[in-house]
Structure 1
Amino acid sequence: MRNWVGAPGYMVANFETVRYALFSILGIISFIAAIVATVYTSASDALVQPQLKLGALETKIAKANVMTKFANNQYLGFNCETPIPVSEDEEHRNATCLDISYAAQAYHDYQRYVAEWDSFAKNKSAGTTKETRVPAFSQYRSEIQVNGTWLDVSAFEWNGRVVNNVSLAMPHAGVLGAATDERNEILQPSELGGLGAYNLVASVPSPAIHVLCANMDRSELAPIVYTAWNYSEDLDAPTWPAQVSFLSSNSSINTTVVDDLFGWRKNGQNAPIFPRYPSNYNTVLNQTFYYGRESIYLLGRDGDTDVERYSLCQLKASLTPNCSTTYSAVQEGSSLSSTCDPENDPLAYINSDAGAESGSATVSLDWPWVGTEWANSMSLSNGITDGKASIARLLTQSIIKKPELQLDRPSIAEALAVLASTTLLLSTQDAQMDMDWAHDEDILLSPETVNFNATLRERTYASGPTGEPQKLFYIVLVFAFLTNILCLAYFIFHRGLVTDFSEPPNLFSLAVNSPPSASMAGSCGGGPAGRQWAGEWFIGESGGHLFIVPKEAVPAVVAARGNMGNAWRVEEEASWPVQQQGHHYPPGDLNHQHHYGQIPQSYNNNNTGGPGGPLAISTAMATSRGLGGDGNGNGNGGGLLARLKQRFSSSGPPGGGMNASTAYVRSPDTPSSATRLTSSGAL
């Protein structure tokens, strides 16, 4: 049973030990201890040892710093990273830096986007609903994956023309600053050796880009194309739009058939003016606007040789209160995502500020300056000189020809939204985190602290189960605790060092210094078998000498000594080969030969065993006929008891008579009155 605890596999290899020992109290305790010892490490690892796991969802008020309003082109220019100082290129330094930044990020995003569309087209997995279109995505700081949300993706017919309308929301980049703000006490992955992680959901507005495109023909566009109605001078492309600089916000622009669709002549919004009709696979921009205009415009033409088809697109940006921003931080790759489901998302900003404005009231009047710089960096106005930019060709190939979305490619409105999404991320950097800007200055001299609702779930080191099945290990820990309490109580009541007889060296010493047991006959080679496992044994002691006493020997030993403590001397003497003084028995003399630890049998003249069989250890009592006994308690010099007396007394011939009640003089093993000789088989 000791081996069960140290080597649980022993129970499998020696199942008989379990079979016989399990039905005893010690066996049950040992079995439980073995099971506990086997699974304790797993239980402690699962429940006690700190391990990485997601904690509970925590609701908190988070803090962030705000420096500017949404889509502030000047702030973006000042913070654009370039080694060229402002003093060296005061007029163009910021614009040049922003153009490089916009173009690099937008081209990278669009290349990944069209590659994803290629995969969708080959697998025929795209649909016509916003949920089944290829999702929009970007990257922020070259390491954070940004996932947008389509608010609307549609194609329909309006007054006999094809219209393509999309709205795309992106997450608020200001949440990244809040996530690393020390005031929010969020443990960063790097602080746990790269193993930490957390999920922060912020109730803040999300920036959105709105793209509305309408297919038109040459005659419908004539009122807003400069070369179509100005015959007095030729287009001067290098100086455009200086030729129309005389126009102001109060100038009256020609009416078109799409004024109502694009909202022209309403709320101070006028139609754009394009320098010329673009040629096949080219685009031009309107670049003629004043502060207060909400949108920028692009005009493109596809390569259809049968129909002269143009697409006029309007782009504008706003903040929407119907979304929340989620930042998932991990060492191997973080992500920033927008979620726009106010009915099911309690962290949508509209649920934190029920009175927040939405719709056209939230359109940014500052974004057109950002958008124009972005469009110029993308060479979207190269069509003014038939520049045939690759991006313009790819865009115009996406113009839809029917009032339905294509399944093998994005629509032109989707493509423009993805390209312009990078401006949304930059426009929310250090920007307002509510719907209103309550300052007279567009840029603050020092950061302003704002609060917003958020939820946080962190993956940190913690103890406890990571799943319901692991809670079963609590049973193991309870049993381990109870076992330790039991051991503690034992040591309190049994103080001092004790000898562990189950230790192999100690047990070996006991075994080789103890007489064999009849019940263990035949086990010396391969160990106990069968019922031998059920054998009970005890430890005896005499004069500091320890020995094993099997259960069947206990009554006789106790009868001979009255206690277990000094039975060894009787057993020891009876186990030695008996040699009478001055006599050496020949090997063939069966009357005098016997084995170590075994009382000799009584033999007759025919060397046939008489009454009295071999007994292990039980030497305090023997048959009255053993080697010269007369069966009445008297014996001669060859009797066993006489020899015992000889061994345990100082004098007396072996052949002298002996009464059964005579004490063994000078022996420490004075037998009790129970040592009276009885007839054979009385044990």
Structure 2
Amino acid sequence: MDGDEYDVFHARRSFRRQNSSLLPERSYEQAPQEDHEFQNLAPPAEWDEGPVVGLNISGLSKQVKRVPVGSKGQSFTSKDGFTSTVTAPDSLLLGPSRSTPYQNTTNPSEDGKSFRSDRSSYSRLDQQTSQEFSPEVGLLHTHSRIDENCPTHGDILTSPWSWWTISILALAVYSTVFSAVFLGIAFAKPRWGERIGTNGHLSFGNATLLSALLSKTVELSFVTIFVALLGQILSRRAFAKTDRNSGISIAEMTMRSWVMQPGTLITNWIVVRYAASTVLGIMVLIAVLAATFYTTAAEALVAPKPKFGPLEDRTLWGQVSASYANSIWLAQSCETPVQEDPDPEGVGPHPEGDTCLQIDYAGQSFHNFKSFMSDWRERLKVGNTSSDPSSFGGRPEPVATLFDNTTVQGQWITPSRENITADSVRWGRLVQNVTLAMPHANLFNAARDSKNHILQPEDLQGNGEYFIQAAIPAPLINVLCVGMSTAELTPLVVNVSNITDPSTYFPRPTAVDDIFNFGTTGPYDGVQQAPVFPKLPIEYNTLGFISSAYGYDAIYLLAAPPPVDKRQYPTNDYVLCSMKSAQYRNCTTYYRVAQSGGQLSVECDKSTGNTLPYVDAVKDAVIGNWQADWKDVGAEWLRSLSLTAGVNDANASSARLLSQMIPAYSDGNPTVLTSDMPTIGEALAVLAGETALLSSSNSPFVHFWNYSVPILDVPQYQNFKAKVSYKDYASGGTQEWQNLFYVILVAVFLLSSFSLVYLLWTFCLLGRVTDYTEPQNMFALAINSPPSNTMSGTCGAGPSGGLLAKKWQVDMQKVGASPTERNQHPHFYVRCREDGVPVNSSVQRKRRSRPPTIASLTVAESPAVEQYMRLAGKS
């Protein structure tokens, strides 16, 4: 027989099974070299027939014949350069002959004998071994019986006190506790106040980072424990035998990937539909949505963010340093680098402080007046004028500024129902009574006092805002202007050099004494000292008068209108105006602050915003007491604007502008407010509005002074009623639709709680079962399981369609029933329920509190058998 004829086919190895009772290290005899070859060669026509073993690869059930050149078959090229073709026998490619739980195995003694007789070295024939093989030849490898039965080396039901179970339980506790914390925060919507901010315990950036970090760890721990829960449920179901719905499907095995890779719900939607309709499938889908959007839900409902809180009733506190309109305190506190001589008694004079105040008055007053005039100009451009020429409604509101960053909005009020038309008709001359209410400026300081714990914009990295309604009195400026003829002014024009004591000089009665309440009884019951002037002002000029006697509360201005030929309408020869200040009780003060600045405003009388008037907090507050101290403040203001320069015919620009704003008056025609410009009363009120702000900048939050000295060395706190709404870092949603995320937070908490309870109960009472949904465990189980007719044809593209819903169970095969084999560990494998019931011998055992383990093997039968029986529900 030619040697070249038989080198076309040989096996890499050809091992036969030995008795499975032998130890692994004695399963095979020592081979002389890496490659083993056949000992005896059969004639060319046929091979010796051997028993069927393993995968039916090395043991051939049919004779392998020589295939002629040119016939179909697999080929390979040997080292000598010849190409040969081999046709694999049917039993090699088609017939499953591996020993399985569904068939009888070959007799072990025969296997051993065959192995010892047939094993030899193919190299004894002095023929070169080929090193290149076809794909089929590379698979020609047999398994021993121990490999086929695969007796387990570990427990399928283990003690709960292992690193894995303790870690899972710890993560379950973490997920449950912190998901409960996040859920509680989301429902409580706490405001973190000063705890988070620039000066707080945490900065906003760190607080946001901490929230994101905790929410992410909760998400990860939730995914971990839920996958573990899913593995325990499905694995126990795979072992169960008593329930007709026992077993798990391939679609259910993929559930863990839904949670870990939510995108598979889209890419493998066909698999989803076979498992999503079950109770477990619905729970998994909920868990997928919860895990996917948990971080987003926590960011929307838990993470701190700048947000306005509700309008709360508060008692605020503010410091008080001096009485209202205290000119001495204002002069001392005016910021100037020029040092002044010490004044221990504080009675003055304070020339440097007064000079500083005049600069302040002039700068702020003209600035405010310029803004007021700009508003008028804009309204005229758009044609927005008042429809009632006798009312202030629809006319531009008075404006001012405070500390360069706060816009002040005043309001025209009519506490005595003042009306220019009605008043002029009543007195038979031009009479305009204008009252301007301004907000209390000390509210600015109180809002920033640390005692009130109101976060400022800079405390929230510029994102802070707040809103205050305060029940405090509103300072007001009253301007009363009356038209007079030259003859009527004669008693008021005197040579002041002939007056010995101006404080006690009272001129002769005038036609307007009843209007201004002039009298000779002194500063009591509102009686005023009539002004006197050294001369009458020329056109476009004004003169001023400030009484030197203490107790009178008004200052006076005499203005001359333009010449007759320059007037656009007829009016009186002169206008005499008085100005005084008080604190009004029927107003609510508002203060709004944002990063860009603040707005201080006031709402009085019947205004819709007058919701917290001062009179509601102090029931016995009077309508208004004229403040005599303001006269000293008004005096410096009047001089700073050059409104007294008419004595020298200075033609000051401020006086010229005011004189052109005198309203029209003529007998027989109604007197109305000018529609194209403000009146002289409005202009003077706006210019003097700055004095009301400065007078109240450190004054009490009540309408009276209840201290023994007018200036306090140490500022004292006073409280007042207020409503406050401020923006700080708070949890909770900012939009209504974000409430949908509550479902996510609730779902994570409930599923985490359920997972913790279930895992704790099963681990402590039943033990931990091997999770066969994990890829490595399923791979080890599947590769040591017999082929299934159900899965026929799925080795290439995988299962699809109804195969995904087929139920699979984990089953057991014992080694044998003889006394010597009872202590051998069983073999576990997976099978489809539709493939039939395997032949298993089982012994009913008495249930123990906890199954034994392989490590503590002291019984006659493997503990893995009892573990299986418990999981299968057979013991």
TM-score of the alignment, normalized to the shorter chain, above 0.5:
yes
Q: Match for 1:178: what amino acid? A: A
User: Pick from 123, 137, 153: which aligns with 2:399?
Assistant: 137
How do residues 527-606 of structure 1 correspond to structure 2 at under 5 angstroms? Answer: 530-538=801-809, 549-553=831-835, 556=836, 558-561=837-840
How do residues 165-564 of structure 1 correspond to structure 2 at under 5 angstroms? Answer: 165-226=433-494, 243=497, 245-246=499-500, 248-265=502-519, 267-303=526-562, 305=565, 306=567, 307=570, 309=572, 310-341=574-605, 345=610, 347-359=612-624, 362-401=625-664, 403-466=671-734, 469-495=737-763, 530-538=801-809, 549-553=831-835, 556=836, 558-561=837-840
Structure 2 Cα separation of the partners of residues 95 and 423 of structure 1? 13
Give how far 1:250 is off: 4.2
Between the aligned residues of both structures, percent identity stands at 39
Per-residue Cα deviation, 1:349-369 (whole angstroms, up to 9, x for no partner)? 11111111114xx01111111
Per-residue Cα deviation, 1:527-551 (whole angstroms, up to 9, x for no partner)? 6655455344455678898866445
- 501-510 or 54-63: bigger deviation: 501-510
Structure 2 Cα separation of the partners of residues 218 and 504 of structure 1? 110
Report the 3-state secondary structure (helix = DSSP H, G, I; strand = E; otherwise coil) of the residue aligned with 1:65.
Answer: strand
The 1:15–1:83 alpha-carbon spacing in structure 2 relative to 1, beyond 3 Å, is same
User: Pick from 297, 304, 319: which aligns with 1:65?
Assistant: 319
The 1:525–1:94 alpha-carbon spacing in structure 2 relative to 1, beyond 3 Å, is farther
Give how far 1:370 is off: 0.4
Task: State whether residues 103 and 377 of structure 1, in contact with CA within 8 Å, keep that contact through their aligned partners in structure 2.
Answer: yes
Report the 3-state secondary structure (helix = DSSP H, G, I; strand = E; otherwise coil) of the residue aligned with 2:700.
Answer: coil
Give how far 1:81 is off: 0.8
Structure 2 Cα separation of the partners of residues 246 and 521 of structure 1? 130
Report the 3-state secondary structure (helix = DSSP H, G, I; strand = E; otherwise coil) of the residue aligned with 1:219.
Answer: coil
Give how far 1:117 is off: 1.8
Give how far 1:210 is off: 0.8
Task: State whether residues 68 and 75 of structure 1, in contact with CA within 8 Å, keep that contact through their aligned partners in structure 2.
Answer: yes
Per-residue Cα deviation, 1:386-433 (whole angstroms, up to 9, x for no partner)? 323332333233322262233333222222111111111111122122
Are 2:376 and 1:105 equivalent residues in the alignment?
no
Q: Match for 1:35: what amino acid? A: L
The 1:550–1:212 alpha-carbon spacing in structure 2 relative to 1, beyond 3 Å, is farther
Q: Match for 1:133: what amino acid? A: R
Are 2:337 and 1:83 equivalent residues in the alignment?
yes
Structure 1 Cα separation of the partners of residues 405 and 498 of structure 2? 44
The 1:544–1:415 alpha-carbon spacing in structure 2 relative to 1, beyond 3 Å, is farther
Give how far 1:371 is off: 0.7
Q: Match for 2:489: what amino acid? A: L
Structure 2 Cα separation of the partners of residues 66 and 424 of structure 1? 16
The 1:259–1:550 alpha-carbon spacing in structure 2 relative to 1, beyond 3 Å, is farther
Q: Across the two proteins, how many residue pairs are aligned to each other?
A: 546
Per-residue Cα deviation, 1:310-338 (whole angstroms, up to 9, x for no partner)? 33222110011112323334343223222
Structure 2 Cα separation of the partners of residues 218 and 375 of structure 1? 23
Task: State whether residues 517 and 527 of structure 2, in contact with CA within 8 Å, keep that contact through their aligned partners in structure 1.
Answer: no
Per-residue Cα deviation, 1:112-155 (whole angstroms, up to 9, x for no partner)? 22112221211122324444222222221222222222213853
Structure with more contact order per residue of length (Cα contacts < 8 Å, sep ≥ 6): 2
Give how far 1:74 is off: 0.8
Q: Match for 2:408: what amino acid? A: V
The 1:218–1:11 alpha-carbon spacing in structure 2 relative to 1, beyond 3 Å, is farther
Task: State whether residues 342 and 350 of structure 1, in contact with CA within 8 Å, keep that contact through their aligned partners in structure 2.
Answer: no
Q: Match for 1:258: what amino acid? A: V
Structure 1 Cα separation of the partners of residues 538 and 800 of structure 2? 101
Task: State whether residues 571 and 664 of structure 2, in contact with CA within 8 Å, keep that contact through their aligned partners in structure 1.
Answer: no
- TM-score of the superposed pair, with normalisation by structure 1: 0.71
Structure 2 Cα separation of the partners of residues 262 and 516 of structure 1? 116
Report the 3-state secondary structure (helix = DSSP H, G, I; strand = E; otherwise coil) of the residue aligned with 1:286.
Answer: strand
The 1:489–1:91 alpha-carbon spacing in structure 2 relative to 1, beyond 3 Å, is closer
- 487-496 or 417-426: bigger deviation: 487-496
Structure 2 Cα separation of the partners of residues 56 and 256 of structure 1? 58
Q: Match for 1:396: what amino acid? A: S
Structure 2 Cα separation of the partners of residues 477 and 172 of structure 1? 47
- TM-score of the superposed pair, with normalisation by structure 2: 0.56
Structure 2 Cα separation of the partners of residues 531 and 301 of structure 1? 105
Task: State whether residues 499 and 505 of structure 2, in contact with CA within 8 Å, keep that contact through their aligned partners in structure 1.
Answer: no
Task: State whether residues 85 and 93 of structure 1, in contact with CA within 8 Å, keep that contact through their aligned partners in structure 2.
Answer: yes
Structure 1 Cα separation of the partners of residues 531 and 507 of structure 2? 8
Structure 2 Cα separation of the partners of residues 524 and 281 of structure 1? 108
- 212-221 or 512-521: bigger deviation: 512-521
Task: State whether residues 506 and 530 of structure 2, in contact with CA within 8 Å, keep that contact through their aligned partners in structure 1.
Answer: no
Per-residue Cα deviation, 1:29-73 (whole angstroms, up to 9, x for no partner)? 111112222332333233333333233443333333322211011
Structure 1 Cα separation of the partners of residues 722 and 256 of structure 2? 57
Q: Match for 2:433: what amino acid? A: N
Q: Match for 1:167: what amino acid? A: T
Structure 2 Cα separation of the partners of residues 522 and 414 of structure 1? 98
The 1:560–1:336 alpha-carbon spacing in structure 2 relative to 1, beyond 3 Å, is same
Structure 2 Cα separation of the partners of residues 444 and 314 of structure 1? 31
Structure 1 Cα separation of the partners of residues 509 and 796 of structure 2? 114
Task: State whether residues 154 and 405 of structure 1, in contact with CA within 8 Å, keep that contact through their aligned partners in structure 2.
Answer: no
Give how far 1:209 is off: 0.6
Task: State whether residues 63 and 450 of structure 1, in contact with CA within 8 Å, keep that contact through their aligned partners in structure 2.
Answer: yes
Report the 3-state secondary structure (helix = DSSP H, G, I; strand = E; otherwise coil) of the residue aligned with 2:472.
Answer: coil
Per-residue Cα deviation, 1:460-517 (whole angstroms, up to 9, x for no partner)? 2233445655444433322221100121123213448877665677777877887886
Give how far 1:269 is off: 0.8
Structure 2 Cα separation of the partners of residues 76 and 29 of structure 1? 73
Structure 2 Cα separation of the partners of residues 34 and 290 of structure 1? 86
Report the 3-state secondary structure (helix = DSSP H, G, I; strand = E; otherwise coil) of the residue aligned with 2:657.
Answer: helix
Structure 1 Cα separation of the partners of residues 674 and 409 of structure 2? 22
Structure 2 spans left out of the alignment, 5+ residues? 1-254, 344-348, 520-524, 666-670, 814-824, 843-863, 866-875
Q: Match for 1:442: what amino acid? A: P
Q: Match for 2:492: what amino acid? A: I
The 1:252–1:107 alpha-carbon spacing in structure 2 relative to 1, beyond 3 Å, is closer
Task: State whether residues 278 and 384 of structure 1, in contact with CA within 8 Å, keep that contact through their aligned partners in structure 2.
Answer: yes
The 1:532–1:74 alpha-carbon spacing in structure 2 relative to 1, beyond 3 Å, is same
Task: State whether residues 16 and 533 of structure 1, in contact with CA within 8 Å, keep that contact through their aligned partners in structure 2.
Answer: no
